[in-house]
Structure 1
Amino acid sequence: MSKGSRFTLPGLALVVAVGSFGLPLLGLSNAQAGQALEEAKSSHKLQSLAELNDKAPARRSLDVQTWNTAEGARVLFVEAHELPMFDLRLTFAAGSSQDGNTPGLATLTNAMLNEGVAGKDVGAIARGFEGLGADFGNGSYKDMAIASLRSLSATDKREPALKLFAQVVGKPTFPSDSLARIKNQLLAGFEFQKQNPGKLASLDLSQRLYGDHPYGHPSEGTAKSIPPITVAQLRAFHAKAYAAGNVVITLVGDLSRSEAEALTAQVSASLPKGPALPKIALAKDPQPSSGHIEFPSKQTTILLAQMGIDRADPDYAALSLGNQILGGGGFGTRLMSEVREKRGLTYGIYSGFSPMQARGPFMINLQTRAEMSEGTQKLVEDVLAEYLKSGPTQKELDDAKREMAGSFPLSTASNSDIVGQLGAMGFYNLPLNYLEDFMQQTQALTVEQVKAAMDKHLSVDKMIVVTAGPTVPQKPLPPPTDKPAEQPLGVPEH
Structure 2
Amino acid sequence: MNDHTPPPLNLPSRLLSAQGLTLDEPTAIDLEVQSWQTSAGTQVRFVEARGLPMVDLILRFRAGSVQDTRHSGVAALTLYNLDEGSAGLSGHEHAERLERLGAVVDKRVRLDYAQLSLRCLSAPQILEPAVALFSDLVARPDFPVQALERVKGQLLAAQASRSAQAPNRVIGEAYRYLFDGHPYGHPQGSSTEGIAATDTEHLRVFHRMAYAASNLEVVLVGDLSQAHAQAITEQFSLALPQRWTAAQLPPLPVPRAGRVHIEQSGASNTVALALPITVPANAPEYLGLVLACVVLGSGPESRIMQTLRQRHGLTYDVRARLLPLQGGGLFVVQWEVASDQVAASSALVRETLETFIHQGPSDTELRYARQQIAGLLVRNIAQNARLAELLAELGHLGQPDDYLNTYLPRLATINARQVRELSQSNLDLNQCVLVSVGPSVAQIPLTPTSDQ
TM-score, normalised by the number of residues in structure 2: 0.92
Give ranges in structure 2 of 5+ residues lacking alignment.
none
**Which residue of the partner structure matches residue 390 of structure 2?**
421
Q: Secondary structure at the match of 1:226?
A: helix
Instruction: Give CA-to-partner distance per residue, 1:398-445, whole Å, 9 cap, x none.
Output: 111222223321121122122222222322221111112222121111
Give the 3 Å change call, closer, same or farther, for CA 197–78 of structure 1 in structure 2. closer
Deviates further, 162-171 or 473-482: 473-482
- Whether 2:20 is the aligned partner of 1:52: answer yes
Please give the residue correspondences for 1:24-423 in structure 2 after superposition, counting only pairs within 5 Å. 52=20, 61-193=30-162, 195-308=164-277, 309-327=279-297, 329-423=298-392
Q: Secondary structure at the match of 1:330?
A: coil
Deviates further, 382-391 or 142-151: 142-151
Deviation, structure 1 residue 41: 7.1
Q: Matched residues in 2 for 1:107 and 1:53: separation?
A: 40
Instruction: Give CA-to-partner distance per residue, 1:283-308, whole Å, 9 cap, x none.
Output: 13321111222223221221211111
Instruction: Give CA-to-partner distance per residue, 1:34-79, whole Å, 9 cap, x none.
Output: 9xx89x5799999999x63858576662212121111111111112
Q: Which amino acid aligns with 1:72?
A: G
Q: Paired residues, what number?
A: 449
- Whether 2:406 is the aligned partner of 1:433: answer no
Alpha carbons 2:26, 2:409 under 8 Å: kept: no
Q: Secondary structure at the match of 1:258?
A: helix
Q: Matched residues in 1 for 2:327 and 2:174: separation?
A: 17
Q: Matched residues in 2 for 1:72 and 1:220: separation?
A: 27
Deviation, structure 1 residue 90: 1.0
Q: Secondary structure at the match of 1:240?
A: helix
Give the 3 Å change call, closer, same or farther, for CA 195–246 of structure 1 in structure 2. closer
Q: Matched residues in 1 for 2:450 and 2:221: separation?
A: 50
Q: Matched residues in 2 for 1:161 and 1:83: separation?
A: 17
Alpha carbons 1:57, 1:406 under 8 Å: kept: no
Q: Which amino acid aligns with 1:136?
A: V
| Structure 1 residue ranges (4+ consecutive) displaced by more than 6 angstroms after TM superposition | 27-30, 41-49
**Which residue of the partner structure matches residue 457 of structure 1?**
426
Q: Secondary structure at the match of 2:241?
A: coil
Alpha carbons 2:21, 2:371 under 8 Å: kept: no
**Which residue of the partner structure matches residue 479 of structure 1?**
448
Give the 3 Å change call, closer, same or farther, for CA 172–45 of structure 1 in structure 2. closer
Q: Matched residues in 2 for 1:367 and 1:397: separation?
A: 26
Q: Matched residues in 1 for 2:272 and 2:338: separation?
A: 14
Alpha carbons 1:103, 1:221 under 8 Å: kept: yes
TM-score, normalised by the number of residues in structure 1: 0.84
Q: Matched residues in 2 for 1:481 and 1:98: separation?
A: 54
Q: Secondary structure at the match of 2:197?
A: coil
Give the 3 Å change call, closer, same or farther, for CA 189–409 of structure 1 in structure 2. closer
Give ranges in structure 1 of 5+ residues lacking alignment.
1-26, 483-494
Deviation, structure 1 residue 158: 1.6
Deviation, structure 1 residue 456: 0.9
Alpha carbons 1:93, 1:144 under 8 Å: kept: yes
Q: Which amino acid aligns with 1:91?
A: R
Q: Secondary structure at the match of 2:195?
A: coil
Give the 3 Å change call, closer, same or farther, for CA 402–196 of structure 1 in structure 2. closer
Q: Which amino acid aligns with 1:413?
A: A
Q: Which amino acid aligns with 2:195?
A: I
Structure 1 vs Structure 2: percent identity of aligned residues? 33
Q: Matched residues in 1 for 2:168 and 2:122: separation?
A: 41
Alpha carbons 2:35, 2:43 under 8 Å: kept: yes
**Which residue of the partner structure matches residue 18 of structure 1?**
none
Alpha carbons 1:323, 1:352 under 8 Å: kept: yes
- CA-based RMSD of the aligned residues comes to 2.8
Alpha carbons 2:82, 2:137 under 8 Å: kept: yes
Q: Matched residues in 2 for 1:127 and 1:434: separation?
A: 39
